[in-house]
Amino acid sequence: LNRCRNNATCIENSLNKTYSCECFTENNQTSLYYGTYCEKKIDVCSNETCSNHGYCKEENNAPICACFYMYSGDKCEKESEELKKNKMIVKTTTIIAIIIVCQKEN
């Protein structure tokens, strides 16, 4: 009886009549599964860090970052041109406001 799951290989030990499951895929790449019967799935997002409030999601058994509005890139590290422009407007407006306040005080 083979209880191994998810394309795992059943390894029989004829000496003590037991078996174990080897959790590898058919092409001998590291499996996405683990556990006694290779029944538990690895969380591919557990070590993935996405920047700027992006979040990791699994797609085709691989981690990808879903980016928050106005960000892009593999890790959501790139700001959109619109966001850069908005930041520049805020900085410029702040500087102008400081200058006006300082002039009124003098």
pLDDT tops 70 at residue 1: no
Structural domains in the chain plus CATH codes: 1-42 (2.10.25)
Q: What are the tens digits of pLDDT across the range 43-75?
A: 999 988 999 999 999 998 889 999 999 999 999
Q: Which residue has the higher pLDDT, 8 or 72?
A: 72
67-99 pLDDT per residue, tens: 999 999 999 999 988 888 888 888 988 888 888
What the block records as the tokens of 98 is 């400081």
Rg (alpha carbons) of the chain, rounded to whole number: 27
Question: Is a pLDDT exceeding 70 seen at residue 26?
Answer: no
CB 45 within 8 A of CB 63: yes
